[in-house]
Amino acid sequence: MAIKMILTAPDPRLKKKAQPVASVDADVRQLMDDMLETMYAAPGIGLAAPQVDVLKRVIVLDIDREDTKTGPLFMANPEIVEASDEDATYEEGCLSLPEHYSDVVRPAKVTVRYLDRDGVQKDLACEGLLATCVQHEIDHLDGILFVDHISSLKRNMILRKLLKVRKEAERDAAEGKASKPGAMGKESASAG
Ligand code: NI
């Protein structure tokens, strides 16, 4: 397994639509394993392939909370086949938007259909944090970030701040300065 670099917004590669996998072969399984390791190292509770610069419809999740313990979940070609009329609001974060969080409204319950790590088709009924996380990760496959669900005012503020942080890091690197301690600070609640 290998830890991959996670792209951060704003980055045009995060806005692209990912392609379905033809089957869950050895390459896709390798990608799933690398993504899980990358997600754990971040740490995060979900990760989508476009975040590691691979435009395939693959996501991984592992939610370990008091009320939701999923263990590792590997999903290829995931799609929402059922969604509740009832909505839920969660404060979301994302490994591609480090240190930024915002309330996002989504259907409270969804059923996701996907191919698992063995290529077997599954339907999984999700609610609570798992429902939010699955929808957040599938959004990534369509080039949608959680900030695309909030006001443009707040979205632009977050993206400007992220751009500023990146430019400062690039300038420091160019001047040969060591990166600031805490610049890679952990983000405990990030969905991915
Ligand atoms: Ni994310």
Q: Kindly give the distance from the C-alpha atom of residue 145 to the centroid of ligand 1, in angstroms, as a whole number.
A: 7
Judge whether 108 and 134 are in contact, CB under 8 Å: no
Q: How many domains does the chain have?
A: 1
Q: Is residue 2 part of a domain?
A: no
Q: Is residue 139 part of a domain?
A: yes
* pLDDT, tens only, 77-87: 999 999 999 99
Q: Is residue 3 part of a domain?
A: no
Q: Kindly give the distance from the C-alpha atom of residue 63 to the centroid of ligand 1, in angstroms, as a whole number.
A: 14
Q: What is the four-CA torsion angle of 43, 47, 53, 57, rounded to 10 degrees?
A: 170
Q: Kindly give the distance from the C-alpha atom of residue 176 to the centroid of ligand 1, in angstroms, as a whole number.
A: 31
Q: Tokens for 38, please give them.
A: 């990358």
Q: What is the CATH number of the domain that holds 124?
A: 3.90.45.10
Rounded to whole angstroms, what are the CA distances from 91 to 86, 107, 191?
17, 14, 10
* pLDDT, tens only, 141-168: 999 999 999 999 999 999 999 999 999 9
Helix (H) or strand (E) holding 91: strand 87-92
Which residues have CB less than 5 Å away from ligand 1 (the ion)? 94, 192
Q: Tokens for 87, please give them.
A: 């909505």
What residues are annotated to the active site? 137
> Does the global pTM surpass 0.75?
yes
Q: Is residue 182 part of a domain?
A: no
Tell me the residue range of the domain where 88 lies: 12-173
CB contact burial 159-177 (16+ within 10 A = b; e otherwise)? beebeeeeeeeeeeeeeee
Q: Kindly give the distance from the C-alpha atom of residue 45 to the centroid of ligand 1, in angstroms, as a whole number.
A: 9
What mean pLDDT do residues 13-38 have?
A: 98
Q: Is residue 83 part of a domain?
A: yes
